[in-house]
Structure 1
Amino acid sequence: MPTKIVIIGGSYAGVKAGKTLHKKFKDNDDVQITLIDKNPYHTLMTELHEVAGHRTEPDSIKIDLFKIFAGRKVDVVIDEIRDIDFEKQVLRSDGNEYSYDYLIIAAGNEANFFGTKGAEEHAFTLWSYEDAIRIRQHVEEMFFKASYENDYEKRKKFLTFAVCGGGFTGVEMAGELGEAKKHLSEKYGIDKSEVTIYNIEALDRILNMLESDDQVRTVEDKYYRRLGIELLKNSMIVEVTEDSVVLERGEVIDTYTLIWTAGIKNCKFSSGLGLDTDKFGRIRVNEYMQTMNYMNVYAAGDNAQYEDEDGRMPQIVEAAEQSGHTAAVNIAADIEKSEKHVHRQNYHGFMVSVGSRKAVADTGFKTSGWFAMLIKHMVNFYYGFLVGGLRQFWNYIRHEFFHIKHKRSFVGGHFSKASPNFWLVPFRLWLGFMWLVEGVKKVDEGWLREPKMFSSTALNRIIQGAGNAADSTAGATQAAETVTEVAADAVSSATGAADGVVETVSNLPGFAQWVVNHSPQGWGQPIMGDVPGFMQWIIDKIVAPYAVPFQTMMVVAEIIIGLCLIAGLFTFLCSAISVVMTVGITLTGMSDATIIWYFFGGIALVAGSGSTFGLDYYLMPILKRRWSKIGIVRKSYLYFD
């Protein structure tokens, strides 16, 4: 019987544990790894506010668990565990049982209402994908209702939004609402000055995980003011009703929208298992992430309560990942009878965004504004790549930059501006025609039969060297004469080739003939002066000895690129190759400035204009489906959704 390791939860800790265990046991058939979650996706908890606040689309915060573990030694099971029998080592759902030898509990947390009257019944929480969707829909519904409400008091209540909690989640949620009110007001014909947004904090300071008071003041005095967010500190909420929020000092805020981000506690499932827990229901663990009750049961992430000389383990992504890793390596150590790993807390900083363009970050050095937002994106890039490789990296770029709406990116809407591909079809056909003409011309010039590739720099060096040698010895004089003859032959050959070109293209249609013959004023000179040293070395040592084969490949490539662009086949690849070839030809010194437009033309078409009136429209969907089913491709995430 194989050793069975079960992970409960596709959280940050659960995913990290699964990936670590795969690396440890990918070649060991005696170990079976299973990850169980009630949802088929891993939720990017740190990005929930973006969906709730209408910045990004819902799919941006989900990563398919089956795709994360594709081709890996982790079986993903979609089920909801209801009970655990620790003595029999069995997990139970409504209809299934799962046995285990080692167990990692990483089921996540839930909102903590601290006994506030009415909060659990009437407040919105932001702790899951479903929560983000619910808030997103509710906020827009409030704008919609306000758009046809004539009663001032009712309208004001619809357009008042309150966020309880001045931690990272609360500040980020308030910031998103501050930005969202602009486009939602425009959409529903509402004056945005009618919209009121509160961030309510019971203490006298927000963002307590940040050391710098200056950074906190930047958020309070600069970013909040710019977005029109009213900050209420020292304002504990004592009661929440369907249409109001009551503060401890007696003030009543009339609103249908209170988003509760004031704190979290262990989820009911984990805290109700009968294990040793703290006052928030978090499972107490030792330095190996083992529970105090059972040495083969581990807890990680927000489910675990751990404290060492560096303090209490915080409820942040980096802590979740590190604890998931610790639990996994110690299970492996137990199986392999090796020394266990003592958990070490090592965090690289904290970042909090306020809307899409501003943030504050403490990552060893303190930053704010646009640069802090860039750091936040870079961290997300890194995490996405580790979890989902190139696929998730690209998905993040699409959601955060290319498909962003209402200019809500830290670079504005510049990357998200798009136009239909059919406008590029004429350009694609013309660039393809020009590459085809280039290739056919070279065939007629004899590029498949004799060497034609040389640089003016190389020829000048030969002639100059021969001239100097002629002054010193008679033998060198003979060499100079020989070189001169070679140069003359080259010039003669080039002249003959030029005559052939003229004859070849003399019967083209009028406009095409003008394109081939016409040279704008000042053009015709080599675009580069001296050929770069590395390129000259390549020409002399690699290309020259095999000139005809290299020329043949070049000619064939030009013809293929031309035909493919005309047909709209593999347009992305051909456009990219077009750019690379243009750079290569330019570096050899064999082209004048007329080649520049091939370079920029390739860039313009690289986005895939063949998907309109081209073969790519029919072929690429088929190839993508087949490509993404290849084992090594799925395992390496070398595909796009």
Structure 2
Amino acid sequence: MAQKNIVVIGAGFAGVYATKKLARKLKHNNDVTITLIDKHSYFTYMTELHEIAANRVAEDAIQYDLHRLFGRRKNVNLVTDTVTTIDRDQHLVKTKHGAYPYDYVILGIGSEPNDFGTPGVKEHGFTLGSWESAIQLKQHITDVVRRGAVEHDPKKRQALLSIVVVGSGFTGTETIGELRDWRDQLAKENKLDPEEIKFSLMEMAPTIMNMLDRSDAAKAEKYMQKRGIAVMKNTGVVGVHEDHVDLKDGSTFPTATLIWTAGVKASDQAAQFGLTQGRGGRIAVNAQMQSQDDDQIYVVGDVSYFAGNSDRGEPQIVQGAEASAQTALSNIIKQINGQAADVAYKASYSGFMVSLGSRYGVANLMGIFHLSGFFAMLMKHLVNMLYFVQIFSGYYLFQYVMHEFFRTQNDRNLMRGHLSRQGNVLWAVPSRIFLGAMWLVDCAYKVSGKESWFVDKLRLPFSWLQPAATSGASAAGADTTSAATGAAASGAADTATTAAKSVFSLSYQYGKDPMMVFDQMPHWMYSITKVLIPNQQVAFFMQKSMTIIEILIGLALVAGLFTWVSGGVSVMFTLIFCLSGMFYWVNIWMIPMAIAVMNGSGRAFGLDKWVVPYLQKVFGKWWYGQPQSLYGQDTVK
């Protein structure tokens, strides 16, 4: 087969999805090379821009380095450059710094905000169409609230502390909800009454959130109004100034912060390629996602215009981007294999989810299930995480979970801050050291002397290893070849004897015998244990190995080294001891304590403060390579 080159232009939702899928499906075809070109060295999770603008997550939380996404894919070349044109005669994708031959192009350059030429939006307004614009908006809001807090003139103060969002689509409602979450912290930092910071959502139509079922939209509107957000319907903005906006009815509204989210259009770059454009500047495609002008150029995501289902084109949402990318890559694979490109686009929208801050949202799943509040937000997070599963990125799936649940501040997450790791881990240090010392002290007698577990003398109380000896702890370990009634009677007698001697408690009681968690090993545990430890030789090895591991756990916890792993192993060992009939209720505290120390307690007065970041750096570089600002031919070596 002759060498085939696939060039993907744009590392957005559709471009990354298509590149990941192609790389995986064609990984054994050495005759195919995939080149991904983007002006940035990272993929921006565009649907979460409002979280950056409203200071909920770190600024880099929605930036995913392309090398970390594709570093293990040997059939993918990354290029950081700006595409200028597609030379269809010479089959070249030309950039500012190079040119790349192609047999097939996947064009996914996305969309940008559409202000419909409204005067003043570009000069005095803000949009959310890029990572840079989100940072700019966050900095602006921080500045105007700070200025408003010390402004003596009432009119100027009102304008500075008034935030307006125009448009009640996904971006507008999610933005104003997230900004409202930020309000109290902004007020606290600037010594303001939170009620002074005002939020207004302006919508030209008589209803808001028109992509949703009316009942879901009504819930969202009620929630916003409850939180003090002014929902202004039938309100058109016709002009934007530094300290106010002009409304369609001839009145003005004071604000120094107008965020325009009232529409999107194809990226202006779409006009550079000489391809037929449709509504909103989007490039017209057929059902196979091929440009109407060139069947070797596939157009995907927000920039594609397919009128087969609606004259408005397909919704410019992530689900549409994925569906169009899947159609394009399926057809390209068929063409590479000498087959006809006959896979037609199939719209598949499982539902719509809109967040109104970090804790509340509304969702419509498959037109059947209507969710609100906690469950709607949970579903939104699950859908976001599903994307990382689809593009095979466990690393960024983990990072998403950490940013959204464990690294947030001021309780701004779905679990209201209860999972946040921003708390001071210093106070978990005594627990960590005590738990480690417990392992070491309890292992002391196992290392030497008459009770040593390093001599070939059986210490494990399992009946099949020493048939002559039985006990309450090992009675259930007896072979079940005897009659069931006999076993039951024996077990009942043992239980009655144990119950007479032992007392349930979570602390030692003077003069009382503590109760075991399991006085008899469960049958399923018995079966597993007998397979793993079938004879005394294996038992001797297991005794020595377990003792060594317990000592290592103790040392690691005391030193604060690999605390998460050590805590997890502590939990696992404790559970095994419980199920083996070798553990008391009064010692069950070890499980919650071990879980508690897993929350980074080794980062305070522990070696994890230095060791874990070092290992992350070393292994991250080994597995993913070194992230760079530029990829491709123009990379500075």
Scaled to the shorter chain, the TM-score interval is 0.7 to 0.9
* Structure 2 counterpart of 1:295: 295
Check the 8 A contact 2:20/2:392 in 1, yes or no. Answer: no
* RMSD (CA atoms): 2.8
Matched, 1:431 2:435: yes
Kindly report which structure 2 residues correspond to 1:51-130, keeping only aligned pairs within 5 A, or say none. Answer: 51-72=52-73, 73-130=75-132
Q: Over residues 502-536 of structure 1, what are the superposed CA-to-partner deviations in whole Å (9 max), with x where a residue is unaligned?
A: xxxxxxxxxxxxxxxx8756453322233211112
1:281 aligns with 2:281: yes
- 1:337 deviation in Å? 0.8
Deviation at 1:582, TM superposition (A): 0.6
2:390 aligned partner, one-letter code: L
1:541, CA displacement in angstroms? 4.3
1:557 matched to 2:557? The reply is no
Cα offset, 1:78, TM superposition: 0.7
Task: Give the one of 321, 341, 344 matched to 1:342.
Answer: 344
- Whether the 8 Å contact between 1:6 and 1:35 is mirrored in structure 2 is yes
Q: CA deviation at 1:309?
A: 4.2
SS of 1:253's equivalent in the other structure is strand
Alpha-carbon distance, 1:8 to partner? 0.8
The match for 1:493 is none
TM-superposition CA deviations, 1:25-52 (whole Å, max 9, x none): 2122211111111111111111111111
Call closer, same or farther: CA 1:250–1:429 in 2, change over 3 Å: same
Shift of 1:118: 2.5
Deviation per CA, 1:438-480: give whole Å up to 9, x if none. Answer: 22323441433122212534654699999999x9xxxxxxxxx
Q: Distance in 2 between matches of 1:402 and 1:464?
A: 48
Answer whether contact 1:436 1:562 (CA < 8 A) is retained: yes
* Alignment counterpart, residue 565 of structure 2, candidates 559, 573, 588: 573
CA distance in 2, matches of 1:94, 1:539: 66
SS at match of 1:338: coil
| Mapping for residues 353-432 of structure 1, pairs under 5 Å | 353-364=355-366, 365-387=369-391, 389-416=393-420, 418-432=422-436
Counting only pairs closer than 5 Å after superposition, residues 194-209 of structure 1 correspond to structure 2 as 194-209=196-211
Find the aligned partners of 2:124 and 2:578 in 1 and give their Cα distance: 68
Q: Helix, strand or coil for the counterpart of 2:274?
A: coil
Does residue 15 of the first structure (1) align with residue 22 of the second (2)? no
User: What is the 5 A alignment of 1:232-243?
Assistant: 232-243=232-243
Aligned to 1:454: 461
In structure 2, relative to structure 1, the CA distance for the partners of 1:441 and 1:147 (3 Å cut) is same
Q: How does 1:392-541 map to 2 (within 5 A)?
A: 392-416=396-420, 418-443=422-447, 444=449, 445-448=451-454, 449-454=456-461, 456-457=471-472, 459-460=474-475, 522-541=512-531
Instruction: Identify the match of residue 591 of structure 1 among 555, 578, 583.
Output: 583
Conserved 8 A contact 1:385-1:392: no
Residue type at the aligned position of 1:526: M
Q: CA-to-partner distance for each residue in 1:401-441, whole Å, 9 max, x for gaps?
A: 22212222122122226444443333333322221232232
Question: How far has the Cα of 1:574 moved from its partner?
Answer: 1.9
Decide which moves more: 564-573 or 583-592.
564-573
- The structure having more radius of gyration, on CA atoms, is 1
Whether the 8 Å contact between 1:70 and 1:634 is mirrored in structure 2 is no
SS at match of 1:295: strand
Say whether the 8 Å CA contact 1:20–1:329 is kept in structure 2: no
Residues of 2 paired with 1:614 and 1:224: CA distance? 46
Matched, 1:600 2:592: yes
Give the CA deviation at 1:307: 2.8
Measure the CA separation in 2 of the matches of 1:33 and 1:42.
17
Render the CA deviation track for 1:283-303: whole Å, top value 9, x for unaligned: 011111110111111100011
Stretch moving more, 85-94 or 615-624: 615-624
Match of 1:260 in 2: 260
| Larger CA deviation: 560-569 vs 230-239 | 560-569
CA 465–134 in structure 1, closer or farther in 2 if over 3 Å, else same: closer
For residues 182-217 of structure 1, the C-alpha deviation after alignment (integer angstroms, 9 at most, x for no partner) is: 21112111222222211111111111111x211111
Bigger shift: residues 415-424 or 556-565: 415-424
Larger mean CA deviation between 250-259 and 453-462 belongs to 453-462
Residue 511 of structure 1 is matched in structure 2 by none
Q: How far apart are 1:313 and its partner, in Å?
A: 1.3
Residue deviations 1:573-613, cap 9 Å, x none? 22211110010011111122343132223212223433343
Contact 1:50 1:176 in 2 (8 A): yes
Q: CA deviation at 1:544?
A: 4.8
Normalising by structure 1, report the TM-score. Answer: 0.86
Q: Distance in 1 between matches of 2:268 and 2:481?
A: 89
Q: Is the 8 A contact 1:585 1:591 kept in 2?
A: yes
CA distance in 1, matches of 2:347, 2:479: 68
Evaluate the alpha carbon distance shift between residue 192 and residue 84 of structure 1 in structure 2; reply closer, same or farther with a 3 A threshold.
same
The answer to whether the 8 Å contact 1:199/1:231 transfers is: yes
Aligned equivalents of 2:24 and 2:545: distance in 1?
43
For the residue of structure 1 that corresponds to 2:401, the secondary structure is helix
State the distance in 2 between where 1:93 and 1:590 align.
69
Q: Cα gap change, 1:294/1:459 in structure 2, threshold over 3 Å: closer, same or farther?
A: closer
Q: Summarize the Cα distance change of 1:611–1:50 in structure 2 as closer, same or farther, 3 Å threshold.
A: closer
Task: Find the aligned partners of 2:477 and 2:114 in 1 and give their Cα distance.
Answer: 82
Unaligned stretches of 5+ residues in structure 1: 472-517, 636-641
Name the aligned partner's letter for residue 453 of structure 1. Answer: L
Q: Is the 8 A contact 1:357 1:410 kept in 2?
A: yes
CA, structure 1 residues 292+527, in 2 after alignment: closer, same or farther (shift >3 Å)?
same
Relative distance call for 1:167 and 1:594 in structure 2 (3 A) is same
Residues 1:145 and 2:142 aligned together = no
Distance 1:539 1:24 in 2: 42
Change (3 A) 1:353 1:460: closer
- Shift in alpha-carbon separation, 1:520–1:588, aligned structure 2, 3 A: farther
Corresponding pairs, count = 589
Q: Is the 8 A contact 1:401 1:409 kept in 2?
A: yes
Unaligned runs of 5+ in 2: 463-470, 487-507, 628-637
CA contact (8 A) 1:523 1:592 kept: no
Aligned equivalents of 1:438 and 1:446: distance in 2? 12
Q: Residue 51 of structure 1 contacts residue 57 of structure 1 at CA under 8 Å; is this kept in 2?
A: yes
Percentage identity across aligned positions? 38
CA contact (8 A) 2:71 2:624 kept: no
Q: Cα–Cα, structure 1 residues 234 and 382, in superposed 2: closer, same or farther, change >3 Å? A: same
